[in-house]
Structures are given as structure tokens and as C-alpha cells.
Structure 1
């Protein structure tokens, strides 16, 4: 049985979910962002236990198809923005999502907007800005290198988008040193 789980955004999440499921006595197969394969299929009592244990850790079992699809959209975006290379300036997120989910982008966009009260594009921008904040805090790359790494057409475009989301320019953010990053799963 495949369990669909909300708020899994990193390898640590995968590890924690795996451990929690193993603690319930289930055989755990593949665990990836947003899902976990378990054997045998848990009964309703076990599902309630799993659900309550996962909730304590900030996760949530998803039980309807719409919620699962929205979570899969989020997971694909998070995976691409935070754990892949965006240097290909020709990355088309709408095509990437359509191909990855085997659904029409207009359908995915409507479903996402209805469920999240924001567009997919806005979610992508927020994720990219969080990644830019992380890169600025590390201080290993300059703004031009971050621009290239994140697939922006110019540092002016990145700066304008950064300021519209955060209210600060990238240099103001970096010099403030206040660590104003947000949690990926809270966006």
C-alpha cells in the first residue's frame, strides 16, 4: 500500500517518516518525497496511529486524490528548485509538471490554485526566493553566480523578484544577518 504524506520536503523527512513507520511494525519499502510504501496494508486502527504520530512530527496523511495531486506538484517543484540544477534557463515549469504528472497544465494549475489560494507560479517564485536566501546566507556565491545557478535571466530580474517577495534587496538581506528564511514546508 502507498501512503501519501504531506510536508515531506527533504532527505531528513524521508528518514524520519521511514523510522516512524518502521516503529509501527510495518515493513517499509520505498519512501520518497510525499509517499511511503508499506506492507501489509495497515488497518484503520494502525492508520489512525500512523496519522497521529506523523502529525506530531509535522506531517499529515493525505486521503483524497486532489490533496495528493497538489502535494505531488509541490514536491516536484521543491525537488527541482532546492535539489536540482536550474542553470538551464530554458526550464519550462509548466511542461516539467505536465510531463512529471501526466496531466494537462491548465488542470493542474486550477487544482493547485483552488487548494492553495495561490498560483503555481507564485509558489515557484517563493521557493526560488527561499533558495536564494539560503545561498546568500552561505556566502559562497556572489549575486551573479546565484542568478545563474537559479536560472534567472539577469541579476536585476532576481533582485526585483527578491524585493517584491521579501521587501529587501538581496544585499540588504545579506547585510542584515538576521536569518529571515522560511521553512520550505510552510510556503
Structure 2
């Protein structure tokens, strides 16, 4: 039986889920980002107890099929952009559709209805967060970041970055470095 749990990617959250499953005597075969696979079916009492315990810890057991699908899309995008060594070379829509086993138009419509933004906008927001992170590490040039995140050009990345953050990438980098040095001077 698969259960979907809404939680942030962190070791702490994963440990909370493991502990709650242990308390209820539930044996699981897989515990991945947002999903746990339990060996046996849950009774209504176990399900309610797990739901309450997770909620007290700031986590959510998801029952609604649309919400589960939205979480799968969000988790896939987050994993793809923030945790993959290399982004997929195929079109993102094809990648998402292939990974989740649904027509992209269907996924896109549900996502937009529920989240109020398109999957593409969600991807852009995450790519910009990744750009911010890479700028702060100061290990890659803007050209390298642009290439790594599959932007068509540095200008395209810069325009998108400015549209989302209000800053150019270079100004953002200087601003963060200045804040960092101010904190170190304290």
C-alpha cells in the first residue's frame, strides 16, 4: 500500500515519518521523497492515527488523488532541478509525462487549477532558485550556470532572473556577498 506524505526534503522529516511508522508498528518497504510504501493495508484506525501524528509534526498524509498528483509533479521537478547531477536532455514536459505516466496536458491542467501557476512557471521559479544557489557558491560562471540549467543563452537566463527577482544575476551576487561580509564583520 502506498501512502503519500507532504513534507520538505530533509533528514529530520524523514526521521519523523520513520518514527511515526515505528510507533504504529507499520513495516515499510520504501521511504522516498513524499512517499512511503507500507507492506500491509492500514486499518481506518491506523490511518487516522498516522494522519494525526504526522499533522502534529507539521506533516500531512495526503488522501486526495489530485493533491497526490500535484505533490508528485512538484517533487519530480524539485528533484530534477535541485538534486540531479544533470538535467534531462529531453523536453521537460516529455520527461514529466514519462516519469508520471500521464498525458502532459492532463498534468498541466490539474497543476494550473490547483496551484494557480503553470508547471512551466513552477520550473522557472525552481531554476531561478538553483541559479541563486550556484551564484552564492561562486564556483561557476554565469555562462556555465546557463549551460548547466539548459538556458539558450546567458541573456535569456539574466532576463528571466531579473523578471523573477528584480535584480540582475551579477547585482544579486554582489548584494549577497556584501551581506555575507557584513555578517562576518560582526
Aligned residues, how many? 178
Counterpart of 1:3 in structure 2 is: 3
| TM-superposed deviation, 1:142 | 2.0
Which whole-Å CA distance do the structure 2 matches of 1:127 and 1:12 have between them?
22
Q: Please state how far the C-alpha of 1:121 moved relative to its aligned partner.
A: 0.4
CA distance in 2, matches of 1:153, 1:15: 40
Q: Which has the larger radius of gyration?
A: 2
Deviations 1:59-92 (A, max 9, x none): 211102111111111111111111113456x431
1:9–1:78: 8 Å Cα contact kept in structure 2?
Answer: no
1:144: how far off?
Answer: 1.6
Q: Can you give the 5+ residue segments of structure 2 that lack an aligned partner in the other structure?
A: 181-186
Structure with larger RCO (C-alpha < 8 A, sep 6+): 1
- Aligned positions of 1:60-139 closer than 5 A: 60-86=60-86, 90-139=89-138
TM-score by length of 1: 0.84
Is 1:33 paired with 2:33?
yes
Structure 1: segments with no counterpart, 5+ residues: 180-187
Q: State the 1:52 CA deviation.
A: 2.6
Secondary structure of 1:26's partner? coil
